[in-house]
């Protein structure tokens, strides 16, 4: 979700099954279940709140506002929830916004927080396990990285260990490059919320399938 959706809005539950006839939340029983079925209407309402209809337009004009096109028709079109969730461009925008925000627009490997002249963050959102290899759009499958480090990460020149130390293919990356681009501590800078930290399985997949099996002496730290 791009936005947090609370369980209650103005004291009323988001789920019809948890709502009493007077609109108040029910307690006990189904409300205590960790897994519940929800209606299509409840699902659509939650998604509409968490993933706005115009998320792509919102992101496109976030740092470079454009005037409203008066020639554009006034009719609105509500895209079906399933279409939005399956559309790659929409999911890319949602993923980018959540990952960059999780790391406070700071590169998780270099520690730099850069913005261009218009205030647009230069940091990018990198999938740890690529979408084409069944990687998800979860924040825990993402890292906020500068352009150069994103490129190096995607090509297996760098990776991250389970303890979040940064691994470098030293036979491919010159030492002076490492010194300039990596944070002094040699460890991944964590997201603001620990719950957004990279999932160990995603990191393992990247090491085994992108970074590859490299002798211990070739690791950076």
Question: Which residues is 182 bridged to in the sheet?
Answer: none
Q: What angle do CA 64, 102, 118 make, to 5 degrees?
A: 20
Q: What confidence category does residue 76 fall into, taking pLDDT thresholds of 50, 70 and 90?
A: very low
Q: Mention every residue, 6+ apart, whose C-beta is less than 8 A from residue 49.
A: 3, 5
Burial class (CB in 10 A: 0-12, 13-18, 19+), 194: exposed
- Strand 12-13 versus strand 166-168 pairing type: unpaired
Q: What confidence category does residue 11 fall into, taking pLDDT thresholds of 50, 70 and 90?
A: confident
pLDDT in tens, 86-125: 555 667 888 888 999 999 999 999 998 877 656 677 899 9
Taken as a whole, the chain contains a residue count of 221
pLDDT in tens, 140-197: 999 999 999 999 999 999 999 999 999 998 888 888 887 888 888 899 999 999 999 9
Whether pTM exceeds 0.85: no
Cα separation, 97 vs 123, whole angstroms? 11
Q: What confidence category does residue 42 fall into, taking pLDDT thresholds of 50, 70 and 90?
A: confident
Encoded tokens for 77: 């079109």
């Amino acid at each position: 979700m791009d936005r947090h959706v609370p369980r209650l809005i103005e004291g009323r539950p988001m789920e019809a099954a948890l709502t009493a006839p007077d609109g108040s939340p029910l307690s006990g029983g189904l409300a205590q279940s960790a897994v519940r079925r929800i209606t299509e209407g409840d699902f659509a309402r939650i998604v509409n709140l968490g993933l706005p209809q115009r998320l792509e337009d919102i992101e496109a004009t976030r740092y470079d506002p454009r005037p409203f096109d008066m020639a554009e028709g006034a009719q609105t079109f509500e895209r079906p929830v399933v279409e939005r969730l399956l559309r790659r461009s929409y999911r890319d925008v949602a993923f980018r916004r959540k990952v960059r925000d999780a790391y406070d627009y700071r590169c998780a490997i270099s520690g730099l927080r850069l913005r261009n002249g218009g205030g647009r963050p230069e940091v990018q959102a990198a999938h740890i396990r690529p979408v084409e290899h069944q990687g998800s759009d979860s924040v825990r499958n993402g890292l906020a990285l500068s352009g150069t480090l994103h490129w190096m990460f995607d090509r297996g020149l760098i990776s991250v260990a389970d303890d979040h130390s940064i691994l470098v293919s030293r036979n491919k990356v010159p030492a002076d490059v490492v010194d300039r681009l990596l944070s002094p501590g040699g460890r991944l800078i964590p997201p603001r919320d620990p719950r957004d930290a990279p999932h160990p399985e995603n990191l393992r997949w990247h090491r085994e399938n992108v970074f590859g099996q490299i002798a211990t002496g070739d690791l950076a730290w």
